[in-house]
Amino acid sequence: MPHSGIASPSLPRLRALAVLLPILLSACASTVAMPATDSVMYSRSPLAVYPSQGQSAEQLNYDRYDCHQWAVQQSHFDPATMSGNNSLEPVPSTPGEGTATGAVFGGITGAVLSGPHHGGEGALVGAVLGAAIGVASDAQKAEQINSINADRSAQQGLVEDSYQRALEACLIGRGYSVR
């Protein structure tokens, strides 16, 4: 084999690079924003209720409780327990999982397909291509989960509004001014 004067990297260096590159690329993977469902509080300010027909404080408390129960029944939402349209949250994969998996499988595939004399180079090229595909996969998963969380958050807002409207309607129907 003629020597071209260009130093070629040794096989151990290429193998080390093929191992380290996927690890470094996995650090670039996108992350998924987790919804803060456990810490979400019912965000409405309390209603200002005035007994416009001279109702007593005791009657006001009774009516508020009764109207709260009715609003929960109508809206299927209870701000005291944050119960409502409960469904399972999407569970994101570990950040960088697709990147690391793609790099490993790409490296193995590249090493196998490149032949015995170019296994290091093939592994390196395969790892880089696999990691790039994995990054795209991680980003797509993150986008899907964020979209699902945004839709659920909007739905929760509609349910909360439904509760608020039902509570106000009940109190107004019982002769209170509500703001």
d(CA 62, CA 55): 11
Pick from 73-82, 95-104, 157-166: least confident: 95-104
Express each pLDDT in 116-154 by its tens digit: 777 788 888 888 888 888 888 888 888 888 888 888 888
Question: Does residue 4 have a pLDDT over 60?
Answer: no
CA geometry: angle 96, 97, 99, nearest 5 deg: 65
Q: Specify the pLDDT at position 10.
A: 64
Helix (H) or strand (E) holding 177: strand 177-178
Question: Does residue 39 have a pLDDT over 60?
Answer: no
Mean pLDDT to the nearest integer, 69-87: 81
**154 burial class (0-12, 13-18, 19+ CB within 10 angstroms)?**
exposed
The answer to whether residues 71 and 170 touch, using CB atoms and an 8 Å cutoff, is yes
d(CA 29, CA 142): 10
Q: Report the percentage of the chain scoring pLDDT > 90.
A: 26
pTM of the model: 0.52
Mean pLDDT to the nearest integer, 75-79: 90
Question: Does residue 68 have a pLDDT over 80?
Answer: yes
